[in-house]
A and B are shown apart, each in its own frame.
Chain A
Amino acid sequence: MKTYHSLSAIQKDIKEGKVNCTTLVQFYLKNISEKAHLNAFLEVYEEEALAAAQAIDQKIAQGKAGRLAGMVIGIKDVLCYANHEVNAASKILSTFQSQFTGTALQRLIDEDAIIIGRLNCDEFAMGSSNENSAYGPCLNELDNTRVPGGSSGGSAVAVQADLCLVSLGSDTGGSVRQPAAFCGIVGLKPTYSRISRWGLIAYASSFDTIGVFSKNIPDNALVLEIMAGADEHDSTVSKKPVPAYSSLLNFNKKAKVAYIKETIHSEGLNPEIKERTLATLEKLKQAGHEVEEVSFPYLDYILPTYYILTTAEASANLSRFDGVRYGHRSEATGDLESLYKKTRSEGFGEEVKRRIMLGTFVLSASYYDAYFTKAQKVRRLIKEKTEELLKDHDVLVMPTTPTVAFKLGEHSSNPLEMYLADLYTVQANVAGVPAISIPNGVDSQGLPIGLQIVGKAFDEATVFAFADYLMQNQLN
């Protein structure tokens, strides 16, 4: 079977009888087993996926198939799927089986997407390289000595290596866009609250979003369109109507594009990425679009703001893992308090413990105002300044990452070095706005470079259309 890179090509060939869901699933299963060394999947739902494929093939024959018939999807190990394990790549949730299916995932299944397995990631989505997984690192397919990025590393590699057509990840500070850039694919973080978080294991609730990996914009847009929207199980999800993104991809106007000078002139930016970004901006100018340099004075303050607020939220969210109701429980005997302490100390990895400790620190009475309240104030400044820039422009364009995919172990001994991998992605999460990473060529070693497009809150339609325009016209 040939390798497909879009749902439209699959659905066309299904219609013409050249392929069916069963052969598609068999194809991906074969790839998964041949590329098992990448450690992308933590579990493969082989029999189930084949059974679902057969059922959907029948629905297709009867003309009753859903909009995603033919789409094979992998899901990050932080999404709840009824009667399936979900571990957040942590030992503390080993053997945990979800009792329900999250809203976003259920909506995809209802449109006949086939779920082929769950994907490796950093423990509780905390990391930028997938090296913090309790189940071992996931490898970048292009160079197995390099990381795929993180935290949704397995989800990125699954699409990169054709182990499924589309995958779901989650993005709290760049966890979809950064691995998408490192793997040379498309990765979307929608507006905060655009998709229900019911069934998404929480890391930092005021930042977390489900995100989508794909090889093209139309597939990504269709998946968001189906997942997004009101849900009675999430009181924070937006009730705004969901546009039909996949049919709004025609970008036929002169765009007003801004680029933030601090992102381009930032010290840590790899010169080849800088060059590719400037080249794209130049091509946009040549094509008649308005490209303006703007200043964003808070660039170096975004990551500190992010780490104070997310660790605080994580320390609260992760207090539920106590060994009483589910997950790992320490074998050590003792009283209830020592059961909690031993269970959590055995179950959580080092980075998760560090974030819980930092979060506890910044929320403690003596430091609350100096750190937590201070960061909430700076968050407002960052959000308002970002919105101001977006008021006068359709999109902001910048590099997705300061570097290309780095080597395994290169930053794992220094947390701060690792945190800087999210330098450009974290702004969209702190401000709550949508952003996408699309491929922007490769460096001299052949490693992928990502270009990030940031849009106004709830204006995914423009972000998608502009990204598709760039990809279709090879301006990226």
Chain B
Amino acid sequence: MSLIHKEMKKVDHDTLKKMAHLSRLEFDQANGEKMINSMNEILDWVEKLNEIDTDAVAPLITMSEEVNQLREDVVKEELPHEKGLQNAPKRDSDYFRVPKVME
């Protein structure tokens, strides 16, 4: 049985706002409208999966059949401090800089 009702649009302005916040994205009026439309169109399309009975099927959660082989945990300097900071858009000698978080 489908959990989703076809008639109902899944994404409205409120949902867009909520998803955009969770995605840390922003949309202006025009782009928001476009995004809502394309998301609804795609979600309608993927609901085709509801035609398949999967009640007795377990979800496939990993593509690897091999058992994890753990390696020794050896302390190494994989990324020296200075190299780690080299791409920072804003930094000081030791840290990444971000806007003030606490008042």
Structural contact, B39 and A357, CB atoms closer than 8 A? yes
Structural contact, A206 and B50, CB atoms closer than 8 A? no
Selecting from A219-227, A324-332, A441-449, the interface stretch reads A324-332
Structural contact, A380 and B25, CB atoms closer than 8 A? no
Taken together as a complex, chains A and B put the C-alpha atoms of A465 and B79 apart, in Å, by 42
* Closest beta carbon of chain A to B67's beta carbon, Å: 10
Residues on A with C-beta less than 8 A from B52 are 298, 301, 378, 381
B86 proximal to A (CB < 8 A)? yes
Residues on A with C-beta less than 8 A from B26 are 341-342, 345
B29 proximal to A (CB < 8 A)? no
Q: How many residues of chain B get a CB closer than 8 Å to chain A's CBs? A: 57
Structural contact, A336 and B89, CB atoms closer than 8 A? no
* Closest beta carbon of chain A to B96's beta carbon, Å: 5
Residues on A with C-beta less than 8 A from B57 are 377-378, 380-381
Taken together as a complex, chains A and B put the C-alpha atoms of A357 and B22 apart, in Å, by 9
Structural contact, A305 and B59, CB atoms closer than 8 A? no
Selecting from A6-14, A59-67, A180-188, A233-241, the interface stretch reads A233-241
Taken together as a complex, chains A and B put the C-alpha atoms of A239 and B98 apart, in Å, by 41
B93 proximal to A (CB < 8 A)? no
A54 proximal to B (CB < 8 A)? no
Could you tell me which residues of chain B, from 16 to 59, have a CB within 8 Å of some CB in chain A? Answer: 16, 18-20, 22-27, 31, 35, 38-39, 41-43, 45-52, 54, 57-59
Structural contact, A304 and B89, CB atoms closer than 8 A? no
A354-B38, A377-B58, A415-B38 known; A360-B87 Cβ under 8 A? no
A35 proximal to B (CB < 8 A)? no
A345-B26, A415-B42 known; A96-B87 Cβ under 8 A? yes
Structural contact, A370 and B98, CB atoms closer than 8 A? no
Residues on A with C-beta less than 8 A from B39 are 354, 357-358, 361
Residues on B with C-beta less than 8 A from A358 are 39, 42-43
From A193, A301, A329, A360, B23 is in contact (CB under 8 Å) with A360
Taken together as a complex, chains A and B put the C-alpha atoms of A380 and B79 apart, in Å, by 38
CB closest chain-A residue, reference B20: A357
Residues on A with C-beta less than 8 A from B4 are 370
B6 proximal to A (CB < 8 A)? no
Main secondary structure of the interface of B (DSSP, over half): loop
Residues on A with C-beta less than 8 A from B54 are 374, 377-378, 381
B75 proximal to A (CB < 8 A)? no
Could you tell me which residues of chain A, from 282 to 306, have a CB within 8 Å of some CB in chain B? Answer: 298, 300-301, 304-305
Q: How many residues of chain A get a CB closer than 8 Å to chain B's CBs? A: 69
Residues on A with C-beta less than 8 A from B51 are 301
A-B residue pair count with CB separations less than 8 angstroms: 157
Structural contact, B38 and A336, CB atoms closer than 8 A? no
Taken together as a complex, chains A and B put the C-alpha atoms of A125 and B26 apart, in Å, by 22
Structural contact, B45 and A304, CB atoms closer than 8 A? yes
CB closest chain-A residue, reference B47: A304
Residues on B with C-beta less than 8 A from A307 are 42, 46
Structural contact, B49 and A374, CB atoms closer than 8 A? yes
Residues on A with C-beta less than 8 A from B2 are 370
A351-371 to B contact mask, C-beta < 8 Å, 1/0: 001101110110010010111
B8 proximal to A (CB < 8 A)? no
Structural contact, A357 and B45, CB atoms closer than 8 A? no
Structural contact, A323 and B43, CB atoms closer than 8 A? no
Could you tell me which residues of chain A, from 318 to 348, have a CB within 8 Å of some CB in chain B? Answer: 319, 322-329, 333-337, 339-342, 344-345, 348
* Closest beta carbon of chain A to B63's beta carbon, Å: 5
Taken together as a complex, chains A and B put the C-alpha atoms of A99 and B85 apart, in Å, by 10
Structural contact, A336 and B101, CB atoms closer than 8 A? yes
Structural contact, A305 and B22, CB atoms closer than 8 A? no
Structural contact, B35 and A326, CB atoms closer than 8 A? no
* Closest beta carbon of chain B to A304's beta carbon, Å: 4
Residues on B with C-beta less than 8 A from A350 are 31
Residues on B with C-beta less than 8 A from A377 are 54, 57-60
Cβ contacts A to B, 15 pairs, < 8 Å: A99-B79, A192-B64, A238-B64, A239-B69, A304-B48, A322-B24, A339-B99, A341-B26, A353-B25, A353-B35, A361-B15, A370-B4, A376-B59, A376-B60, A380-B59
Q: Which 4 A-B pairs have the closest CB atoms?
A: A376-B59, A329-B89, A326-B87, A380-B60
A interface residues (Cβ-Cβ under 8 A, vs B): 95-97, 99-100, 192-193, 206, 232, 235-236, 238-240, 298, 300-301, 304-305, 307-308, 315, 319, 322-329, 333-337, 339-342, 344-345, 348, 350, 353-354, 356-358, 360-361, 364, 367, 369-371, 373-381, 383, 415-416, 432
Starting from the known contacts A300-B48, A345-B26, A375-B46, 6 additional A-B residue pairs (CB-CB under 8 Å) come to A193-B63, A327-B89, A329-B90, A348-B25, A361-B10, A415-B41
B interface residues (Cβ-Cβ under 8 A, vs A): 2-4, 10-11, 15-16, 18-20, 22-27, 31, 35, 38-39, 41-43, 45-52, 54, 57-64, 66, 68-69, 71, 79, 83-84, 86-90, 96, 98-101
